[in-house]
Amino acid sequence: MTDKKEFGVFTGDEIFNYSNEKKAIIEHFLYERDCMCIDSKAGEGKTLVALTLICNLTTGTPFLDTYTIDRPRKVLYVQTEGDRAETLERLQLISHKTPINNDNWVHLNWDGLTLNTPEGFKIFEDLIAIHPMKYDVIIFDPLYTTVKGSLSSDEVSSDWTRNIRKLRETYNCAILALAHKAKETYLQNGQKIERGADNLFGSVYWSAFLNQNFKLDNVGGMLTLTRGKQRSTKIVDLIEMKIVETDDWLLLTNKEDLSDRNSVVIFDIIEKAGKPVSVKTLFKESEIPESTVHRAVRKLMNERRIERIKVGRAYLYQLLKEDIKSEKLKEPKEG
């Protein structure tokens, strides 16, 4: 039996008596025990992304109909800012197009959390123990209202991350923190200092704690998640989305419909390869954006033209065996 204990002192055979392969919760986006941050300016759509993720996670349906979720997951949504009635109204609008399973999540709406203090973290532990659930993902929305002090303080960040590590150990869960983009800073000559996607809040400990972070930008209802710091080559570089809204429903979806041309190009590369290929290979050879490659691959799998196989830790794609057989049947007979 493999010991999955994360923390402790290990010697001899115990050192490698551990399953270090992390399974995908949301393929190419969020993995088991990951700690992820999504930050943006206020009102850019972080909460819409979070609520859509809750719908997909609790039902096991693909995020943006592209990124696979292996099974229904349990979610704790910790809301520390905003109006609960408004949040639930938006969630109801979203659920008309992206179904939700309300048995698989808990909504903790609470202001004044101070998770970087012993007293504040104990209050939080007691609150979530009222309705015990084995959470797979815990979402904090937003980050700054869960701390006492400044996010730029090394002491604040180290205390917060230390307690969240305890939380992750207790539930063996992934953590997603939504955050407001750090204030812009300027040189003495007035020139703005440009921040990279991996620049977070002024304390190096936030970045050190995270497995990956994404910057969210919203231009006219077109949302872009750009990957910053990450520790895995499995994570997608860019996700482009759009908001579609009516009086009766609200939908976060892919930026544009997938053209037949893209799926033809991807299928052609897989067919000519003559062996299983990775998404990275398809991305490189097709010169199609990586997020579009993922969507094309899903489209081809849904059409039962290709299949996914696992080789070691990698997922590769090849022609569906049934498709190969049918193609052989179509070959003209000699003579």
Whether pLDDT at 233 is above 50 = yes
Burial 144-174 (b: 16+ CB within 10 A, else e): ebbbbeebebeebbbbbbebbeebbeebebb
What is the per-residue pLDDT for 331? Answer: 45
Per-residue confidence band for 322, with pLDDT thresholds at 50, 70 and 90: low
pLDDT at 127: 95
Distance from the first to the final alpha carbon of the chain: 61
**CA-to-CA distance for 123 and 106, rounded, in angstroms?**
17
pLDDT confidence band for 112 (50 / 70 / 90): confident
Please report which confidence band the pLDDT of residue 334 belongs to, taking 50, 70 and 90 as the band edges. very low
CA-nearest of 119, 113, 116, 117 to 142 is 113
Domain boundaries, the chain: 22-254, 260-326
Q: Which residues pair with 39 in a beta bridge?
A: 179, 215
Contacts of 199 (CB under 8 A, 6+ apart): 182, 207, 228
Q: In 3D, which of 100, 108, 107 has the Cα closest to residue 56?
A: 100
- The answer to whether 201 touches 188, Cβ cutoff 8 Å, is no
Q: Give the mean pLDDT of 9-14.
A: 86
Sorting pLDDT into bands at 50, 70 and 90, what band is 10? confident
Residues 68-86: tens digit of each pLDDT: 999 999 999 999 998 999 9
Three-state SS annotation for 159-174: HHHHHHHHHHHHHCCE
26-40 per-position pLDDT tens digit: 999 999 999 999 999
Residues 119-142 pLDDT 10s: 999 999 999 999 989 999 999 999
Count Cα atoms within 13 angstroms, Cβ side, for 170: 15
Coil vs helix vs strand at 296: helix
What is the SS3 assignment for 94? helix
What's the fold here for domain 260-326?
Arc Repressor Mutant, subunit A (1.10.10)
Decide if 76 contacts 111 (C-beta within 8 A). Answer: no
- pLDDT above 60: residue 257: no
Sign, Cα dihedral of 96, 55, 239, 138: positive
Fold classification of 22-254 is Rossmann fold (3.40.50)
